[in-house]
Amino acid sequence: MRDGMARYAPIIAGLLLLAAGLYLVRTSGDPQGMMRPLPFVCIGVGCGLFGHGMGDMISERAIRSNPKLRRKLEIEKNDERNIAIANRAKGKAFDMMTFVFGALMLSFALMGVDMIAVLLLVFSYLFVHGSALYYRFKFERKCRSTR
């Protein structure tokens, strides 16, 4: 559990971003360039932060009064079977993402979408796969050293 102001930081930051986004929407007459999507990004991120912070705070208060529930949740969270299931689901989602992003990049290129957008997608795709290779080599090296 977090203490002090750290518990309220996401809630406050979310409300500030939400207010800033709403203020920018109301005051900017004819936004150009980066100022066009900025208010809506602020609103979206602010709502996400606020909702996440409130969800954490509500769940902390719910389990604070019930030690049995807290213990049960900790056991479920650290259960090896649940961790293995979550990791397997991540692996399947990663495999699916590979083909979906590949098809999306190809369709964007064929549709004539702006080259910067296609290159950003390609670089993010390569970054994800590069980090997957890095962690695979790292974990294999660690596994070999323990044998």
In the chain, the N- to C-terminal Cα span, in Å, equals 37
Report pLDDT for 59: 85
Q: Assign residue 133 a region: left if phi > 0, alpha if psi is -120 to 50, beta otherwise?
A: alpha
Report the candidate in 25, 76, 15, 82 with the shortest Cα–Cα distance to residue 51. 15
10 neighbors 50 (Cβ within 8 angstroms) = yes
pLDDT by residue, tens only, the chain of 147 residues: 456 678 889 999 999 999 999 999 898 878 787 788 889 999 999 999 999 999 999 888 888 888 888 888 888 888 888 889 999 999 999 999 999 999 999 999 899 989 898 999 999 999 999 999 999 999 888 888 876
Structural domain spans, the chain: 1-66, 79-147
